[in-house]
Amino acid sequence: MNREVPTFSSRPLLVGMIAVLLAAPAAAKPPVYATPAEKAFVDALMAKMTVEEKLGQLNQPAGVGNNTGPAAMTGNEDQIRRGEIGTYLGTQGAVLTCRLQRIAVEQSRLGIPLMFGYDVIHGHRTVFPVPLGESASFDPVEVQHAARVAAIEASAHGIHWTYAPMVDIARDPRWGRVVEGAGEDPYLGSVLAAARVRGFQGDDLRKPDAVLATAKHFVAYGAAEGGRDYDVADISERTLHEVYLPPFKAAVDAGAQSIMAAFNEVGGVPMHAHRPLIEDLLRKEWGWDGLLVSDYTGVMELMPHGVAADRKQAGALGLRAGVDVDMVSQIYVKDLPAEVKAGRVPMAQVDASVRRVLNAKYRLGLFENPYRSCTDDGAHERAMTLTPEHRADARRMAQKSLVLLENDNDVLPLSKSVRTLAVIGPLADHRRAMLGNWAVAGREEDAVTPIQGLKAALGERTRLVVAKGADIDSQDTSGFAQAVAAAKQADAVVMFLGEHPDMSAEANNRTSLDLPGVQEQLALAVAATGKPVVAVLLNGRPLSIGGLKGKVPAILEAWFPGVEGGHAITDVLFGEVNPSAKLPVTFPHNVGQVPIYYAHKNTGRPPSVEEKYTSKYLDAPWTPLYAFGHGLSYTTFRYDAPTIASPTLALGALQQRVSVRVTNTGKREGVEVVQLYVRDDVASITRPVKQLRGFQRVALKPGESRVVTFDLGFEDLAMYNDRMQQVVEPGTFTVFTGGSSDRTRDVAFEVVAK
């Protein structure tokens, strides 16, 4: 299973990187997608194509409706007729896409259909919680269903291809795009990457409601230095394999037909020119035969990266690396025809990329049915958009995404018989804060705000006293007096605090993780009234809200919860739904702790209260404010000590069953996310203090117990040794079970050599 390969030694970086990547063990290959019929069809079509038509298939201009880049360009209809456009970015709508498709199919020489790509990130018109919020559910079934709903709506709008899921692991919450992924953990990220791929693509790509899923951004984009978008990712080959590659492998194994290159460089090589990672690892080692698309102007950006002197060289580097589709730059179609004809860019590289574009269109059934979403009046599009069923799905997903961080003195749930409720904060009636960022097709008028949700749930029997208190990002405290007055006349207070949606997602990075503006001071002023206060957070990243802890008794993390967010928040506030979500990312005390994540490694001097010369801070704890996996409920759960099937395992028989009894010790029915972590206690390579290796959502009635079981195998116990070979070494392993990464009980077993 393992192969001996040379290590880095003094080899040049690229050669060394290839050696390291090939050292990984050969896993089970994904299914072979290309059928004989597909190959024959594509071969026959390519034989008829000119160089210009081939490069046209690799060209993706920005279309009508695009708003994701600095300078949107529109590919005109004459380009379609000449076969110079293969796919479009940011064009949607059944009527428009079908009109453009008819030009391609009926007026171009070869009649090759167009493929329309769009950013369907967390829903289409029916906007679901942002991906980080969805991930807090720890519910891959629900996450898959949310992606399925998004695909149904998007496909009805003429879309064939989504640039999701984002599977970047993010351990720096300053980075704005932490909101788009599954958080800090490779295991959770892998499970949810596969779920989202299955949801978008469905069970048959040829069905009209399937869209190609794109795992992005390949690779290590979440490791950008300083938490700044587009920056360098300076990581080791070990970190690459252990942290950043696993979700991409999971997406590939789930059948992802598309992958997007990342803006960053890895090891001195920009990803849009990184042949060792794209061609050697992704395609040869993993056996993936899908379509690799550049990010927005990513090929052109090889020039400012400093590895290409001009557009021609940038295009040649991108094509050689295996970047099939040039998004927006139009370098392939404008600058490479002469290079190909002169032999400076091999035709074989062009043909390989063209084949993958045509394969994608074939697999979607576009050659057979290019008008699969077309109706003369857009009736199908309307029938599939923002349906009552889809809104109910979005509400349920939002309910499962809300994390109860604090609930001192059981302030929550509130009673619906409350006579006067103060509603305070700048986000109480903020429609865009429901949608969040990357809700490209979302409309503010579709969103239910918290105030609307409260009014719908409480009706006329409860008086709402509303006070904004402060703006989201302002130093103006003049509204504090009104907010405090509102709180004093109320029986309970709900505050809606957090970030503006434009403070997260692409290019929206922050150097502070505090509540923006004077919102923390506002919360403390209101809490000083002594009234029962609940703070509901609306945000796209972990926030350093330690100033609220112990002062504001109840804190509910709502993220940006989607079109039904106002209803879902109200459902949880008043106990119609018992919160069950867990944090998919660590919350620090302050930004100075970053990076902070649960799966860290020990040093030779682990933190110690008693010893000065250990790894800690003078002015803040070394522990997080809220740990990965943290999340409370309106009931309580007891964990018995875990048990194992066998105290010893032989290297040739690495199958372990772990069992733990969980009991609902409270008075309400609830759902607990039971988490399992593993540690290799002594190894030849330093290991994390623990790593997530399983989780299950378990519903329990008051007093009910259930034994939850997990099965561990080779992959769960394996590590990369000093030769970057995936192995399990003899020795002891500790298994931890509990309701969060920092509240666990454990048991150990030993792996022995034969």
- Based on the number of CB atoms within 10 Å of its own CB, is 78 exposed (0-12), middle (13-18) or buried (19 or more)? exposed
Omega into 217 within 30° of 0, i.e. cis?
yes
Backbone angles phi, psi at 23, to 5 degrees: -75, -20
How far is the first Cα of the chain from the last one, in angstroms, to the nearest whole number?
17
- 663's CB contacts (< 8 A; 6+ apart) are 637, 638, 640, 700, 703, 704, 705
CB distance 294 to 261 below 8 Å: yes
Cα 723-247-744 angle, rounded to 5 deg? 85
Cα–Cα distance measured from residue 600 to residue 622, given in angstroms and rounded to the nearest whole number:
12
Radius of gyration from C-alpha coordinates of the chain: 26
CB distance 260 to 214 below 8 Å: yes
What is the pairing mode between strands 87-89 and 59-60? unpaired
C-alpha dist (Å) from residue 411 to 154, 403, 531, 571, 703: 41, 15, 10, 15, 22
What the block records as the tokens of 575 is: 């106990």
CB distance 631 to 579 below 8 Å: yes
Among residues 119, 168, 295, 571, the one annotated as catalytic is 295
Task: Tell which phi-psi region holds residue 246, choosing left (phi > 0), alpha (psi between -120 and 50) or beta.
Answer: alpha
Block residue for tokens 């399983």: 694
Cα–Cα distance measured from residue 469 to residue 112, given in angstroms and rounded to the nearest whole number:
58
Q: Determine whether 289 is an active site residue.
A: no
CB distance 236 to 7 below 8 Å: no
Residue of 572, 549, 552 whose CA lies nearest to 668 = 572
Cα–Cα distance measured from residue 561 to residue 450, given in angstroms and rounded to the nearest whole number:
10
Q: Say how far residue 223 (Cα) sits from the centre of its chain.
A: 14
Q: Where are the beta strands (DSSP E) in 1-43?
A: none
3-state secondary structure of 659: strand
**Which residues on adjacent β-strands are paired with residue 293?**
260, 325
Contacts 24+ apart (CB under 8 A), 728-732: 728/651, 728/654, 729/680, 729/683, 729/684, 730/651, 731/680, 731/681, 731/682, 731/683, 732/681, 732/682
Block residue for tokens 């969040």: 436
Q: Where are the beta strands (DSSP E) in 255-350?
A: 258-261, 265-266, 269-270, 291-293, 326-327
Active-site amino acid positions: 295
